[in-house]
């Protein structure tokens, strides 16, 4: 999370994630990375999409916030997919 909103949308999140994914796939040699994201967090979903994460599933109405139920998406990225794009 980037706590200071003034620093959102300047490429820092994507760059930090790319560094993390380099470490995870190249240094640690892990096979896959998975995450959960709230369906209303369009900014984060777009960022994960740009990093080649795919939506792998949906936990329907799993979060209750501000009087409404929201889905949670499961997203994942395989090492082979990451290496293809980088």
Ligand X SMILES: CC(C)(COP(=O)(O)OP(=O)(O)OC[C@H]1O[C@@H](n2cnc3c(N)ncnc32)[C@H](O)[C@@H]1OP(=O)(O)O)[C@@H](O)C(=O)NCCC(=O)NCCS
Cβ-closest position to ligand X? 13
Nearer to ligand X among residue 38 and residue 81 (C-beta)? 38
Q: What does the binding site for ligand X look like in residue numbers (CB under 6 A)?
A: 1-2, 8-14, 37, 41-44, 46-47, 50
C-alpha angle 23/29/34, rounded to 5°?
A: 75
Nearer to ligand X among residue 29 and residue 36 (C-beta)? 36
Contact, 80 vs 52, CB < 8 A? no
7 classed as catalytic: no
Nearer to ligand X among residue 46 and residue 60 (C-beta)? 46
Torsion angle of alpha carbons 33, 39, 44, 50, nearest 10°? 70
CB atoms within 10 A of CB 60: 10
Catalytic residue (choose from 48, 64, 73, 82): 48
């Amino acid at each position: 999370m980037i706590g200071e909103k003034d620093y959102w949308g300047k490429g820092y999140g994507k760059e930090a994630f790319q560094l993390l994914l380099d470490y995870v796939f190249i240094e640690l040699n892990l096979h896959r990375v998975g995450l959960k994201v709230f369906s209303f967090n369009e900014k984060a979903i777009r960022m994960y999409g740009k990093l080649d994460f795919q939506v792998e599933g949906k936990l329907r109405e799993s979060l209750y916030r501000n009087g409404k139920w929201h889905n949670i998406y499961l997203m994942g990225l395989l090492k082979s997919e990451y290496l293809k794009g980088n």
